[in-house]
């Protein structure tokens, strides 16, 4: 009898267990369907959680390329020696800011010294010809009078007249030689003809700018045409960038450009696209894109790295959230929406374009819903950990 009661009690206990187990499953399922995640305020502060409402913004798409600052070709001048000579003084060095006409070097002009000597010789020859010309004029007049009275043959008069004309032509030719020598001397800044005066020629800056190259030293002997300095006017510069082949259709000549450099991270500089290369680099499949930029205050330095943003044709107002709000969870794109101060909901969305750090939201969110924009990875880790534990 006692044994019978024990069997009955065991059966009743098993029946009670079989009823309690199914009740636990629905409770677990309801927690999964809610998709709510809890995080205390102190924990939110510790992980740096930031909340902001999803809102409609104007999405203007920009193509971003990188480049370097270069001088404008037409604003770079090479200062060369005008003549053969010896460098006396170098008055400028690399990095100096110079004005148009400012002396950069002084040169003992050997060519000008030789021209001065030639000038004196040419003038002496002209004087000799004028003396001969005066004597010949008297001889012509005498022969004319003798021929008129029959005291001398007429051919003597004609011959003396021809010699007079030849002397006049020689004198005019010599005056041309003197004029040419004088013009060459004036190009050297020489206005007198004293052979004992020092002939010093100055190499001057062609325009306002900065000396970017200096390849001359005092005492050096240079020839005519030798490069001495390079001066660059940096009041306007180029930002030379490269764009990939696939992006060229989004760039057009004359469009505005926004320039940024690491030296001034919080400032933007306006420019304009003035050149798009007609040929691609076969190795990189890129084309050169040149932007011209005003640089009156000389903030942009040569060879400085720059980021160029070029506006494209894409522009529309749309609901968007920052890139930091987007997470990938189980192959889905999700954001975390705050439902209460310590509760967050996992919300699947369909993203559109990403423009300037903003992701367009096509479906899944409403305007004004509070979304986690920073620290969302920690909420994703909690969800992933729960899913892993359940499995």
How many domains does the structure of the chain reveal? Answer: 3
Give the per-residue pLDDT at 296. 84
Q: Are residues 277 and 173 in the same domain?
A: no
Task: Report how far residue 82's alpha carbon sits from residue 190's, in angstroms, rounded to the nearest whole number.
Answer: 13
Asked if residue 193 belongs to a domain, the reply is: no
Q: What are the pLDDT digits (tens) for 197-251?
A: 667 888 999 999 999 999 999 999 999 889 999 999 999 999 999 999 988 888 8
Report the CATH number at residue 83. Answer: 2.40.50.100
Listed as own residue / partner, the contacts of 73-77 with beta carbons closer than 8 Å and 24 or more positions apart are 75/207, 75/209, 75/232, 75/233, 75/234, 75/235, 75/236, 76/212, 76/230, 76/231, 76/232, 76/233, 77/205, 77/206, 77/207, 77/209, 77/230, 77/231, 77/232, 77/233
Looking up residue 272, the CATH number of its domain turns out to be 2.40.30.170
How much is the pLDDT for 8? 41
In a shared domain, residues 321 and 310: yes
What pLDDT score does 197 carry?
62
Residue that is written with structure tokens 């969305």 in the block: 349
Q: Is residue 360 part of a domain?
A: yes
**169 shares a domain with 102:** no
Residue whose C-alpha is closest to residue 266's, from 238, 239, 243, 299: 299
Residues 147 and 278 in one domain: no
276 and 317 assigned to the same domain: yes
Q: Is residue 179 situated within a structural domain?
A: yes
Nearest to 390 by CA among 3, 29, 15, 26: 29
Domain assignment present for 24: no
If asked whether residues 305 and 387 sit together in one domain, one would say yes
In a domain, 385, yes or no: yes
| Domain range enclosing 178 | 110-187
The pair of three-digit structure tokens given for residue 191, joined into one six-digit string: 């206005």
- Within a domain: residue 252? yes
Same domain, 228 and 91: yes
> What pLDDT score does 196 carry?
61
pLDDT of residue 14: 44
Both 180 and 317 in a single domain?
no
Where the chain has pLDDT below 50, the residues are 1-33, 390-391
Token pair for 71: 């001088």
Residues 91 and 221 in one domain: yes
């Amino acid at each position: 009898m006692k044994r019978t009661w024990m069997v009955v009690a065991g059966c009743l206990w098993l029946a009670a267990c079989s009823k309690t187990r199914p009740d636990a499953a629905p409770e677990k399922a309801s927690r999964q369907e809610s998709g709510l995640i809890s995080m205390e305020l102190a924990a939110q502060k510790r992980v740096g959680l930031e909340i902001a409402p999803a809102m409609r913004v104007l999405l203007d798409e920009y193509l971003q390329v990188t480049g370097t600052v270069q001088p404008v070709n037409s604003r770079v001048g090479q200062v060369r020696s005008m003549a053969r000579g010896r460098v006396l003084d170098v008055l400028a060095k690399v990095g100096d800011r110079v004005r148009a006409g400012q002396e950069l070097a002084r040169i003992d002009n050997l060519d000008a010294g030789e021209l001065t000597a030639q000038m004196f010789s040419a003038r002496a020859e002209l004087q000799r010809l004028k003396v001969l010309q005066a004597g010949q004029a008297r001889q012509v007049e005498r022969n004319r009078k003798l021929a008129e009275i029959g005291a001398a043959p007429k051919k003597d008069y004609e011959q003396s007249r021809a010699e007079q004309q030849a002397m006049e032509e020689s004198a005019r030719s010599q005056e041309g030689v003197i004029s040419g020598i004088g013009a060459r001397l004036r190009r050297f800044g020489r206005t007198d003809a004293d052979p004992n005066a020092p002939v010093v020629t100055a190499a001057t800056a062609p325009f306002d700018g900065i000396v970017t190259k200096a390849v001359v030293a005092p005492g050096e002997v240079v020839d005519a045409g030798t490069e001495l300095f390079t001066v660059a006017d940096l009041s306007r510069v180029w930002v030379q960038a490269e764009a990939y082949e696939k992006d060229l259709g989004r760039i057009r000549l004359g469009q505005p450009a926004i320039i940024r450099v690491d030296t001034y991270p919080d400032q933007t500089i306006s420019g304009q696209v003035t050149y798009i290369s007609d040929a691609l680099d076969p190795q990189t499949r890129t084309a050169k894109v040149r932007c011209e930029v005003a640089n009156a205050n000389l903030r942009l330095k040569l060879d400085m790295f720059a980021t160029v943003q070029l506006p494209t044709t894409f522009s529309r107002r749309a609901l968007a959230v920052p890139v930091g709000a987007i997470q990938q969870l189980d192959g889905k794109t999700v954001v975390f929406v705050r439902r209460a101060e310590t509760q967050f909901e996992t919300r699947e969305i369909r993203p559109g374009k990403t423009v300037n750090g903003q992701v367009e939201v096509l479906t899944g969110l409403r305007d004004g819903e509070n979304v986690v924009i920073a620290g969302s990875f920690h909420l994703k880790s909690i969800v992933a950990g729960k899913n892993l534990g359940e499995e």
